[in-house]
A and B are shown apart, each in its own frame.
Chain A
Amino acid sequence: MTIKQVSVFAENRSGGILDVIQALGSAQVDIRALSVADTQGFGILRLIVDNVDRAKAVLTENGTIFSITDVVGVKVPDCPGGLAQVLTLMADHEINVEYLYAFVSVSGSSAYVVLRVQDNDEAIRILTEGGIELVTEDEIQAL
């Protein structure tokens, strides 16, 4: 059970990310979570959105370079040490977490975190066996 992430290429210049965000906004695509990784020259904008298909359509139309990646969404107990529990499981099983980021805001007892790993199935098995709940696409849409 993975969720879809939209990864967008953006040049490191003023307004670079704005173009993408505006395009998504005008297409009524709602952003649930985002993170930016950048170098001197360019950045990668990673997004979890409520409607991936609509996001794909608008980005394609916009001529933006992007890819859709399967990532793992986990529900982390919203308390000190919550995230550590998840990461310990990953470390114990020698699963390298390429990157992770949290959802913009989630109310309730859990925080949502996105994990990017090499082998999704393996990570999902370990997390589930470790008693960690995963986030579903439906839940993201319902946020």
Chain B
Amino acid sequence: MQNYYQKEIETASPEQIRAWQDERLVKTVHHVWDNVEFYRKRMEEAGVTPNDIQGVKDLHKLPFITKDDLRECYPYGLLATDLNNCVRIHSTSGTTGKRVVAFYTQNDIDLWDDCCARAIVAAGGTEEDVVQVCYGYGLFTGGAGLDGGSHKMGALTLPMSSGNTDRQLMFMTDLGATILCCTPSYASYLAECVVERGLKDQIKLKSGIFGAEAWTEEMRHDIEDKLGIKAFDIYGLTEISGPGVAFECSEQTGMHINEDHFIAEIINPVTGEVLPDGEKGELVFTSITKEAFPLLRYRTRDIAVLTRKKCSCGRTHVKMSKPMGRSDDMLIVKGVNVFPSQIEMVLLNNGLTSNYQIIVDRKGHTDSIEIRVEMSPDFFTDKLSELTAKEKDIVSDLKSVLGIYAVVRIVEPKSIERSEGKAIRVIDRRNLYQN
């Protein structure tokens, strides 16, 4: 039996969904035109007025917005309502200097909670469930999103936040948690602990909702086996709201995008051309129900495929694949966004060159990041103490810029592999993306 949180919406006809999208898109375009100077300017530059946008068919006329735009507009540049109407702020993880902050009105929060509630119900959640949320609470959207969704659909919420595995396992067993929400790597770690400590027959988990980082089918099966649950994927990003932009259903073959709130497009990341359903490209979202922080055609940099095949769960909203990679060079390490350019800046500031390589690996369940950089004449000294002190400075600069610890290895000149004369920047040994 299928359960839905909002059946009429989740199983609405494609025509109905399109009608909602047409109406809400037009409204949102007028809303930003009237309230956000940035959008007005961008649209004028593109020669578009709100009257040119009559529905989804005209969406392609609007200019894209990127993460750089969001950084430039920090903090209030994209706010589309009076700050007094806002009740919450969230922020993205680990970026250089200016972070991206997103604003929410109470209505924005309510609709976001609905999206997460749909995800929990799709994972088999009911009012009788105990939902253990071990995403971080705070500026990160993970904790707040699933917490809100769990409240909304009426389950008993265990607001654990991240870390403290002993306490997680104690409450999981003592309070009989039935649905686990966290990052897949943490789920995998918890699963390992459950097996090691022989707790499997003491836990009551039936399903898990795991997102905020890439994970493989292999990892899914491993977690499912070890915990005896069904593991569901969830997708979202702070810029668009947070987790719950899309979620997996019982079919486990992709994530339904909440199309009554978000319009998804797939574009060619190089040309910006909109691609038909079924083609692989960069995922672009337009939020059409947000009051405080609506984004028109936001480029996620995630590479994915959209499919509209009929789903056995009865939901009619379009499905997106797991992200298959990035159209920029961003890495997600330990759940934190890492750009090679940030690393390069630290190295150059410390007297090294841009001949470096980032090696990301996952040992057990923990991501590690190592930066190999070639020694430069400017950096070199014959004093070992000075060299090790300089090396430590780099490690601490990286920690403050990236927010995570990185191992630094200084290597001999010309020892980093080159491709067409340029050092190969990133080696990701985690094999996170399946194609």
Contact = CB atoms under 8 A, between A and B. Distances in A.
Interface of A: 5, 7, 9-11, 16, 37-39, 41-42, 44, 46, 63-67, 69, 98-99, 116
Given A42-B411, A67-B377, 19 more contacts: A5-B382, A9-B380, A10-B412, A11-B411, A38-B384, A39-B387, A39-B388, A42-B375, A44-B382, A44-B387, A63-B413, A63-B414, A65-B376, A65-B377, A65-B412, A67-B381, A67-B382, A98-B383, A99-B383
Contact of B409 (A37, A41, A64): A41
B415 interface: yes
Nearest to A38: B384
Contact of B380 (A11, A16, A67): A67
B394 to A, nearest CB: 12
Nearest to B386: A98
Given A39-B388, A44-B387, A65 B411 contact: no
Interface of B is mostly: loop
Contacts of B410: 11, 41-42
A39 B380 contact: no
Contacts of B413: 63-65
Interface residues of B, number: 19
Contacts of A99: 383-384
Contacts, number: 51
Contacts of A38: 384
A7 B382 contact: yes
A65 B388 CA distance: 16
B382 A69 contact: yes
Contacts of A69: 382
B388 A9 contact: no
A69 B384 CA distance: 14
B14 to A, nearest CB: 59
Contacts of B385: 98
A116 B412 CA distance: 24
A71 B411 CA distance: 26
Contacts of A16: 412
